[in-house]
Amino acid sequence: MFSISEIKSLTKAVVLQGTLKGRFKRITINSKEVCPGDLFIAIKGGRFDGHRFISEAIKKGAVACLVSSKGVKAPKRAVLFYVPDTEKALGFIARGYRQRFDIPVIAITGSAGKTTTKDMVASVLSARYSVLSNLGSQNNQIGVPLTLLKLTKKIDVAVIEMGTNQPGDIKWLTSIALPDMSILTNIGASHLAKLKSKPAVFREKLNLVKGLAAKGTVIFNRDDPFLVKIPLLVKGRSFISYGVKSRAKFQARHIILQANRSLQFSVDNKKYVLSSPVQANVYNALSAIICGRLFSISFNNIYKKIKKASIPKGRQQIKKVGRIWLIDDTYNANPVSFRSALNTLSDFKACGRRILVCSDMKELGASSHLWHKTIGRDIGKSNIDYVLAWGKAAKHIVSAARPKKDKGQVYHFEKRFELHKKVRSLCRDHDVILVKGSHSMQMGKTVDFILKHFKK
């Protein structure tokens, strides 16, 4: 993969011990996964500090370790490098590696829909090409470089999801992945703890467009009031818009929710089918259709891949549990995805009642209560029959929804087990239950509870 001296020059590392001879095949940051001949990069994470596993890595055969602490002790047989920031060094190495491959890289960012879009784009392109894409949601300063380090000569195109939770993240990831194309899904109140406001989220995501290769292609959602401004703000790129409401170059029209809970829609007078009733997925599919067209994939193949597209786990996945319908949206929550979930629940065709089981949206900073209230007001105006909420911030959802609903329709619980008790006593055959909350609220436990109690 690299010679040890190449690593030194890419990262500007200082050699603490050993000689710079030899090469290694792989880079790993997890000591458990080290194989003989690897370079081990010690990264300080939230839960683990890789520096504590140096001797384990060397025991397993690591030939060199990159560290950000000068006091590390290691057997003399291994090369030890020092850099002030190993996470940054991983990025520099990944950039150096990516530069060896003359292939198109498509980068995806936005407040919601990145993973679903990434999977749909990768799936459509796989009809004709060998595609590399992030595993799951590995979209941060560690996940993106590790994904790029999986490039091989066999890969024709890379589809890279990029996330951000602080200013500068997207600029950095763009400088590593060096994309030729970008997809921007939407701008909303995401990661406001550090990004502060929606305009700041937009400025952050715009760095993907600014950092694109010259004459790069920008695929953007024209229905989004921020993204629609992109062509006015950045020059020297080609722009392809998509949307549902506005007159975009690729506009989905005649969207029909079919009896079997699939969606039919047409683009450029061609019909497509998505086996999901979630309208937001039409936007994600539009990006995939555009990429398919740009990469000369036949209509038949695009059609088949879109129809078969599987929705990633916990992103408004629909399941029949006994005689009730469950919409599992427990992967995450922010105001953009919450609105999308409310639309799905409101439009859902079921003979029973619509029940929302929800918890907090995290990382919304100082305006968190206002965002919860906004969502609560939307629920108040909707046709949702019951709201069962749990969590501190979710109290604001309840207080804003309650005035518009009847007595006995809106509940807040202090404890998860109380929420579960109510779910059990309230839900009956043919109801549809949507479960949503931020990842850290672990609403998957509530999904497990529902699966256990309603499976017949």
Ligand X SMILES: Nc1ncnc2c1ncn2[C@@H]1O[C@H](COP(=O)(O)OP(=O)(O)O)[C@@H](O)[C@H]1O
Residue with nearest beta carbon to ligand X: 113
Secondary structure percentages of the chain, helix, strand, coil, to 5: 40, 20, 40
Segment holding 41, helix H or strand E: strand 39-41
- For residue 340, the minimal CB distance to ligand X (Å) is 4
By CB under 6 A, residue 409 contacts ligand X? no
133-152 residues in contact with ligand X (CB under 6 A) are 137
As beta bridge partners, residue 272 has 265
By CB under 6 A, residue 18 contacts ligand X? no
- For residue 232, the minimal CB distance to ligand X (Å) is 23
By CB under 6 A, residue 91 contacts ligand X? no
By CB under 5 A, residue 191 contacts Mg ion? no
Cα–Cα distance between 140 and 143 in angstroms, integer?
5
Among 340, 359, 368, 382, binds ligand X (CB under 6 A): 340
Among 182, 186, 217, 368, binds ligand X (CB under 6 A): 186
Among 86, 115, 182, 438, binds ligand X (CB under 6 A): 115
The arrangement of strands across the sheet holding 253-257 comes to: 253-257, 263-267, 270-274
By CB under 6 A, residue 185 contacts ligand X? yes
Question: Six-digit token pair at 437?
Answer: 């909350």
- For residue 115, the minimal CB distance to Mg ion (Å) is 3
For residues 375 and 338, the answer to whether their CB atoms sit within 8 Å is yes
Among 38, 180, 328, 329, binds ligand X (CB under 6 A): 329
* Short-list 341, 307, 315, 287, CA closest to 137: 315
- Pairing verdict, β 39-41 and 27-28: parallel
> With 0-12 CB in 10 A as exposed, 13-18 as middle and 19+ as buried, what is 161?
buried
By CB under 6 A, residue 113 contacts ligand X? yes
Segment holding 328, helix H or strand E: strand 324-329
Of Mg ion, ligand X, none, which one sits near residue 113, judging by CB under 5 to 8 A according to partner kind? ligand X
Of Mg ion, ligand X, none, which one sits near residue 273, judging by CB under 5 to 8 A according to partner kind? none
Among 7, 280, 357, 423, binds ligand X (CB under 6 A): 280
Residues that contact ligand X, how many (by CB under 6 A): 22
By CB under 5 A, residue 198 contacts Mg ion? no
135-174 residues in contact with Mg ion (CB under 5 A) are 137
DSSP for 67-132, written as a single string: ES-TT----TTSEEEE-S-HHHHHHHHHHHHHTT--S-EEEEE-SS-HHHHHHHHHHHHTTTS-EE
By CB under 5 A, residue 217 contacts Mg ion? no
For residues 83 and 89, the answer to whether their CB atoms sit within 8 Å is yes
What are the angstrom distances between the C-alpha of 431 and each of 266, 356, 376, 423? 31, 11, 21, 11
Of Mg ion, ligand X, none, which one sits near residue 186, judging by CB under 5 to 8 A according to partner kind? ligand X
Note the residues at the interface with ligand X (CB under 6 A).
110, 112-116, 137, 185-186, 280, 283-284, 312, 315-316, 329, 331-332, 336-337, 340-341
Note the residues at the interface with Mg ion (CB under 5 A).
114-115, 137
